[in-house]
Amino acid sequence: MLPKWYEIPLGGALTEPGSTRKNRTGEWRTFRPVIDQDKCIRCRICWAYCPEGAVKEIDREHMTAKGVKYPITYEIDYYYCKGCGICAEECPVKAITLVREYEK
Ligand code: SF4
Ligand code: SF4
């Protein structure tokens, strides 16, 4: 038996706050940005430019091979990164490389 009109779930509507976090939008990504932590100068530009808020600033020290010590680390949240490449384009030292998610 078909449901009554008022029993049909709402479409295209947010029914609870924060529910979009359950949609892991990174699943349709073709290219994955990878940060070279030794090249990164912690300028925060990728964090500021990412349209998805998928660049995370983490309180974790990193010592580069050349002995430069940084108090923070930037990482990509692959659950939400869509692979648009803006971060790689804007990084002033080209510390972000886009690599293909799946080989054919
Ligand atoms: S590729 Fe796009 S979505 Fe992913 S971290 Fe970079 S700017 Fe954000
Ligand atoms: S834009 Fe490049 S150098 Fe700046 S924090 Fe991001 S990865 Fe590091």
Q: What is the pLDDT along the chain (104 residues), one digit of tens a residue?
A: 898 988 887 777 777 888 877 888 888 899 999 999 999 999 999 999 999 999 999 999 999 999 999 999 999 999 999 999 999 999 999 999 999 998 65
Ligand 2, atom 2: nearest CA belongs to which residue?
91
SS3 call for 5? helix
Multiple choice CATH, 26-100, 3.40.50.2300, 3.40.50.920, 3.20.20.370, 3.30.70.20: 3.30.70.20
Q: Give the number of whichever ligand sits closest to the CA of residue 50.
A: 1
* Phi-psi region at 83: left, alpha or beta (left = phi > 0; alpha = psi -120 to 50): left
- CB 40 near ligand 1, within 6 Å: no
Per domain, the residue ranges of the chain are: 26-100
Ligand 2, atom 3: nearest CA belongs to which residue?
40
Ligand 1, atom 7: nearest CA belongs to which residue?
50
**pTM of the prediction?**
0.83
